[in-house]
Structure 1
């Protein structure tokens, strides 16, 4: 019996033991799907991320209030619709982002996705780890390098542990954290209005720095470009594509928009986007640390989960745990070495080079595959699919040069050019007689 037939048989045997309950190398079955509330809480918790406020604060210092509102809406709308579409594909296929990349780019092409998506999530884990260590050391009056390192390692290990237990553990953390973050959002608005005197006074504040509108929108999209592209890792557990799309919008249009808005208010009124640090300076230490911990926790366990999934695909191991542990070790080392110095440049890179990856996946799934792909045991993957690679390079070029020459909105251009180029290049290949498709068994089942 061939290896492929053995794979089919093992897939259909009900008694087969699943190595990892989060299905890192397989389609999520219907029996494992969750409700809109559950998926939305995980995605909202993921975007409720206090360092995002720093992005909002940078915008708050560069634009008048009324312009900021329009910029935040535009950036959050681009990010929200993009992520929601990726979530929809994930729920319909039941696949992680890196497995979707395998369908789109081929076996070798998927490894690039593993590196760029998994690697950037390790970077984010390091950023949040350094942030946690610094704030805890400062708030508790233990502001030395040794204590900072202790808190980086302590919280890095604790928060990564929930990622080992998968989506269910992450949902529980989100249920606890989201209400407290809601309290923080209200507190920020009340503090800002009181400090400024009125809403009109806030609107009258003049900018103290400069930034182009396109750069501002790129920063908003870049904050969660990598994480948002991988939001399907959790949305694939939604009951259907519609539920996943709504959950994606709630998380990345509403959730991320609120965080940027809060940081923007802080930047306008208090000249800082770090509201946790502001609370500590005002003596509200206990609640600041509680909110900080739960807030970062919801993001960090999702981040660790994402690089665990990327590692599982890259090394073809049906177990995310060793890759979560390895990624955490790398991230903690980066945090101790001071990775936060590269925060803003990395945001710009993420906003430029990650969204085209999702754009190609969207273009391939909806316009080439027509929303229908064969299940994993029935497909023989090519090493590379050339058309998607060309589409991705074109999307990156559009984003990069758009940002360099201040033409359009670079992140949006990257998504759209990659998405549109994918079916066009595919049709050119077909007309030229070039086979750029994976081989599929005649008896294949589709999702």
Structure 2
């Protein structure tokens, strides 16, 4: 099927992309409004110096995690859920399909609700129109995702430069109104949050996206391109978004970045930023769902699965997903990173940095070392008193190493991929 983006196979050499194409798509993905909200929740809880440390450290850890998976994605030509077949088994990989698909649907619902609610607020439309706008945007956002990588690339080439201009202008305005560095250093926190919880929120803003960055880095021509583009997007791009939200909260004592921009007098800019920002991430998000759904259902019909995901996400938006952002981020920061830890350990330790060709691979139905290691990583992250995402990755990788070197449990039913 033309332009179907290889949902169940390796990306061939002739379909690979260059640095700028990959970078702009990844920046379009990481420039997401929810990251501004997450940054806002940090801005009221820390002094300026502590805030900068949280943002820098959190995004460096996130970027390192994403770049490692990006390298594997480029080397193998596979996306994350196909890698899951090697480390979790033919049927065991459905665990990662469900978890990752759920995270993307959650983001899609949140973004769809956000754009509808803010349009009503900023344009004085009747409040009952919110539901109708959610339905309209929920279905519209998936159009570029249905086209595939080309559609994401086209939209991002327009949205990313405009978004970057808006972000820098907002940062400059807020910096000036705060009275420069001296004014920012004088700001006092008005809420409380632990350092570990703050790092979890920074990493949680996009750890689901980082785990799925392979959906695009598998298109990179070289591992170098994949790693540099991913670091740029997840360290600089995501970092700018967190900083913008945090600075707005620190200066204006307002977590809602849209209210910050309205307070700065940027009504038209706010609406434009909102639409470009959310659309350029929503299409990536629902594209992720489509890829995970194809692996779950073992179907090549990516466009159909994408539309079904948009319908589900729109339904969740109408039902009130908007109110659960921060708990959702903490949930992601706990249970998603162990997936990446198992994938990385499996690629380097078991496959020595090179997967066999997927169409010829002999795959167990359930690869128990991977499934047990994921469980161990999730438990460690859930009960960790410090930085659960990092602990989850390390614990899962360590558990996998121990399980694969201490005698593997007998797999259930080995067979070829269908």
Task: Return the alpha-carbon distance in structure 1 between the equivalents of residues 262 and 136 of structure 2.
Answer: 21
Task: Return the alpha-carbon distance in structure 2 between the equivalents of residues 82 and 260 of structure 1.
Answer: 18
Task: Return the alpha-carbon distance in structure 1 between the equivalents of residues 138 and 105 of structure 2.
Answer: 12
What are the superposed Cα offsets for residues 188-243 of structure 1, whole Å, 9 maximum, x if unpaired? 22221222222211111111111110000000111111111011011100012221
Alignment of 1:85-104 (within 5 A): 85-104=68-87
**Residues 322, 422 of structure 1: alpha-carbon distance in 2 compared, 3 angstrom cutoff:** same
Shift of 1:394: 1.3
The answer to whether residue 197 in structure 2 is matched with residue 227 in structure 1 is no
Alignment of 1:131-280 (within 5 A): 131-145=114-128, 147-280=129-262
Shift of 1:264: 0.8
Task: Return the alpha-carbon distance in structure 2 between the equivalents of residues 21 and 162 of structure 1.
Answer: 13
Task: Return the alpha-carbon distance in structure 1 between the equivalents of residues 179 and 198 of structure 2.
Answer: 27
Residue 357 of structure 2 corresponds to which residue in structure 1?
375
What are the superposed Cα offsets for residues 93-146 of structure 1, whole Å, 9 maximum, x if unpaired? 11111101011101221111111101110110000000000011111111412x
Task: Return the alpha-carbon distance in structure 2 between the equivalents of residues 287 and 193 of structure 1.
Answer: 18
Residue 342 of structure 1 corresponds to which residue in structure 2?
324
Task: Return the alpha-carbon distance in structure 1 between the equivalents of residues 260 and 87 of structure 2.
Answer: 45
Shift of 1:19: 5.9
Shift of 1:439: 6.2
Residue 362 of structure 1 corresponds to which residue in structure 2?
344
**Residues 416, 377 of structure 1: alpha-carbon distance in 2 compared, 3 angstrom cutoff:** same
What are the superposed Cα offsets for residues 375-404 of structure 1, whole Å, 9 maximum, x if unpaired? 1121122110111111111111111111xx
Shift of 1:36: 1.1
Task: Please say if residues 24 and 157 of structure 2, whose CA atoms lie closer than 8 Å, have aligned partners that are also in contact.
Answer: yes
Task: Return the alpha-carbon distance in structure 2 between the equivalents of residues 154 and 284 of structure 1.
Answer: 25
Task: Return the alpha-carbon distance in structure 1 between the equivalents of residues 242 and 135 of structure 2.
Answer: 28
Shift of 1:20: 5.3
Any gaps of 5 or more consecutive residues in structure 2?
A: none
SS in 2 for 1:108: coil
Alignment of 1:39-118 (within 5 A): 39-118=22-101
Shift of 1:21: 2.7
Task: Please say if residues 25 and 318 of structure 1, whose CA atoms lie closer than 8 Å, have aligned partners that are also in contact.
Answer: yes
SS in 2 for 1:237: coil
Residue 367 of structure 2 corresponds to which residue in structure 1?
385
* Aligned-residue CA RMSD (Å): 1.6
What are the superposed Cα offsets for residues 338-382 of structure 1, whole Å, 9 maximum, x if unpaired? 111221111111000000001000000011110111111211221
Task: Please say if residues 122 and 330 of structure 1, whose CA atoms lie closer than 8 Å, have aligned partners that are also in contact.
Answer: yes
SS in 2 for 1:330: helix
Shift of 1:44: 1.0
Task: Please say if residues 379 and 438 of structure 1, whose CA atoms lie closer than 8 Å, have aligned partners that are also in contact.
Answer: no
Residue 381 of structure 2 corresponds to which residue in structure 1?
399
Structure 1's consecutive aligned runs of 4 or more residues displaced over 4 angstroms after TM superposition are 434-441
Residue 17 of structure 2 corresponds to which residue in structure 1?
34
Residue 22 of structure 1 corresponds to which residue in structure 2?
5
Task: Return the alpha-carbon distance in structure 1 between the equivalents of residues 180 and 318 of structure 2.
Answer: 42
Task: Return the alpha-carbon distance in structure 2 between the equivalents of residues 127 and 435 of structure 1.
Answer: 42
Picking from 416, 420, 427, the partner of 2:394 is: 416
SS in 2 for 1:109: coil
SS in 2 for 1:25: coil
Greater gyration radius:
1
SS in 2 for 1:186: helix
TM-score by length of 2: 0.96
Alignment of 1:296-311 (within 5 A): 296-311=278-293
Task: Return the alpha-carbon distance in structure 2 between the equivalents of residues 345 and 411 of structure 1.
Answer: 14
Task: Please say if residues 3 and 148 of structure 2, whose CA atoms lie closer than 8 Å, have aligned partners that are also in contact.
Answer: no
Shift of 1:435: 4.8
Task: Return the alpha-carbon distance in structure 2 between the equivalents of residues 398 and 80 of structure 1.
Answer: 22
Task: Return the alpha-carbon distance in structure 1 between the equivalents of residues 51 and 176 of structure 2.
Answer: 20
The answer to whether residue 266 in structure 2 is matched with residue 284 in structure 1 is yes
Task: Return the alpha-carbon distance in structure 2 between the equivalents of residues 423 and 70 of structure 1.
Answer: 32
Shift of 1:275: 2.9
